Structure 1
Amino acid sequence: MSLIIAYIGKKGCVMAADKRRIGYFGDKENLELLENELYNGSILNDDDFLDRASELGISVKITDDASKLKTVGNCIRGEVSTKGTMETKRRRIYGTTNGYQIIELLGSQTQSRNAGKSGIIIFGNNFAKQLAQNLISKRLKGFKSLRYMGEVFEDILREVSSKTPTVGKNFDVLMQQPNYDDSEAQKHLNLTIDHDIKVLTKFRQDLTEQLVQQKIDIEMANKIIDEGSIGHVVKIDGNMLLIKLNDKTQALKSDGTWKQVAAPGQNVLMFTKSADVELGDEVVIENEDLCLKKDKSSLDCDIILCSL
């Protein structure tokens, strides 16, 4: 759902891209049918797209705020991506003066990497690419300036967007003009791309750790006891009580690490304001309040009480 047009030459690099992103959900066969109609040019505009999706029972979300271009070092990076069930596929072009590289990634793993010196590169579905190529051949007659190329590319994106909903009506245009020869360009591209992929790898690792932690948080949160028996009093020292946990209750740290501090059958410290506490008194949680069962007098602790 993208169209990126890049020019790389002796004077620098310019890229233009739309900002559309489309998410849709529904029956697999109907999704494939809808995609085929989108990519062969049968669906001409957003209204027709939404109507056809509705006919096929497909839920659609269209946004036009996705940034597909980024300045990285003295390069411009353009990216199109497809999210699969397990991994995200990315196709990137990095361009600078006198050089470019095209990278294909699965997750953060490089699947292919090809270099070039100059030219016009187009990323997009076949229908949008063909439209763009035809317009470029008509409108560009030799190099004029990067600014002029960027304006032409933006006009082409605008015209293509009027003929297919796979391309949005908002655009970004970026230019870079460092002073590199062929060799210097590829050296800079190699350093920039290697670092950029390392950043992506670190981002994915951090994201994976966050998702794992979120899963743990959800699982443990579901185990927090909000009703039921906890244990009984085995020692009294002023307002401090030692509570022996029953065989279904464990105590965990309250600092977010979910580290166990007491297993079932072990003792934990609690505090009371009641003067009427006796050995053997049962400790319970009722209506999410920790208290003595006999008189509902409140207890305090700095742990989280969870079931096994």
Structure 2
Amino acid sequence: MSLIIAYVGKKGCVMASDKRKIGYFGDKQNLKTLEDELYSGKIDNDDDFLARAKELGISIKITDDANKLKIVGNTIRGEVSTKGTFETRRRRIYGTTNGYQIVELLGSDTESRKAGESGVIIFGNEYAKRLAETSIQRKWKASQSMRYMGEIFQSILEDVASRTPTVGKNTDVLIQRPKFNKTEAQKHLNITIDHDIKVLTKFRQELTEKLVQQNLDIEMANKIINHGEVGKVVNIDGNMLFVQLNDKTQAVDGNWKQKAAPGQNVLMFTESDNVKIGDKVIIENEDLCLKKDKSSLKCDIILCSL
């Protein structure tokens, strides 16, 4: 759901893109029907797109604020991406003066990498690309300034957006004009792209760790005991009680690290003077207390089931 147009030559690099992203949810077969109609050009505006999606029972979320272009070093990076079940597939173009590279990634793994020196490159679905190519052939003049090229690309994007919902009317245009010859350009691109992919790899690793932690948080939160017996008093020292956990209860800290296993003792505090060895400790309505008289207890650990 993107259209990116790039020019790379001896003057520099200019790149333009729309900002549309579309999310789908619904029956796979109906979704395929919708996409086939969309990519063939049978649906030519947003209203018809939403109406047809509704007919097919497909939920759609359209946003027009996605940033598909970015300055990286002395290059411009354009990216289109498709989210799969397990991985995101990315197609990127990195452009600078006298050179570009097209990189295809699955996750953060490089599947292909191709280099070129100059030309007009278009990323997008086949229908949107055909519309853009026709407009470029009509409007393009290589002698134009980089700024004017950017304005032409922007007008082409807006024209394509008026003819297919796969492209949005909001656009971005970026220009880079470093002084590189063809050899310098590829050297700079190699260094820039290698570093950029390493940044992506690190980001994905951090995201994976965050998701793992979130899943752990959810799993452990579901194990927190809100009701039932957790142990018994085995020792008393003033207002301090040593409570032996039963065989179904463990104690963890705020990071879910186990502090006491079933059968081990944990420290609790009481304000009652009527505590005896063997008294049962329970959680009732999320409150920690003695079973016999509901005297309140406090502790600095979290009690969870196994």
By the TM > 0.5 criterion, same fold?
yes
The 5 A counterparts of 1:76-87 are: 76-87=76-87
Letter in 1 for 2:236: I
Question: 1: CA distance between counterparts of 2:280 and 2:231?
Answer: 6
1:296 CA drift (Å): 1.1
Does residue 103 (structure 1) correspond to residue 111 (structure 2)? The answer is no
Aligned residues: 306
The 5 A counterparts of 1:140-151 are: 140-151=140-151
Does residue 271 (structure 1) correspond to residue 274 (structure 2)? The answer is no
Question: 2: CA distance between counterparts of 1:202 and 1:143?
Answer: 42
Does residue 123 (structure 1) correspond to residue 123 (structure 2)? The answer is yes
Does residue 184 (structure 1) correspond to residue 184 (structure 2)? The answer is yes
Match of 1:289 in 2: 287
Match of 2:251 in 1: 251
Letter in 2 for 1:98: N
1:295 CA drift (Å): 1.4
Match of 1:307 in 2: 305
1:140 CA drift (Å): 1.0
Letter in 2 for 1:250: Q
Question: 2: CA distance between counterparts of 1:269 and 1:141?
Answer: 80
1:142 CA drift (Å): 2.6
Question: 1: CA distance between counterparts of 2:142 and 2:235?
Answer: 91
Match of 2:164 in 1: 164
Match of 1:62 in 2: 62
Question: 2: CA distance between counterparts of 1:253 and 1:138?
Answer: 68
Question: 1: CA distance between counterparts of 2:16 and 2:248?
Answer: 62
Match of 1:52 in 2: 52
Over the matched positions of the two proteins, sequence identity in percent amounts to 74
Which 5+ residue runs of structure 2 have no aligned equivalent?
none
Match of 1:222 in 2: 222
Letter in 1 for 2:270: T
With normalisation by structure 2, the TM-score equals: 0.99
Q: 1:28-85: per-residue Cα shift (whole Å, max 9, x none)?
A: 1111111011101000000000000001110000000000000000000000000111
Letter in 2 for 1:181: N
Question: 1: CA distance between counterparts of 2:234 and 2:112?
Answer: 67
Which 5+ residue runs of structure 1 have no aligned equivalent?
none
1:245 CA drift (Å): 0.6
Does residue 89 (structure 1) correspond to residue 86 (structure 2)? The answer is no
1:138 CA drift (Å): 0.3
Question: 2: CA distance between counterparts of 1:195 and 1:269?
Answer: 51
1:144 CA drift (Å): 1.1
Question: 2: CA distance between counterparts of 1:133 and 1:203?
Answer: 35
Runs ≥4 in structure 1, deviation > 4 angstroms?
A: none
Does residue 6 (structure 1) correspond to residue 6 (structure 2)? The answer is yes
1:143 CA drift (Å): 2.3
The 5 A counterparts of 1:28-39 are: 28-39=28-39
1:275 CA drift (Å): 1.1
Letter in 2 for 1:269: L
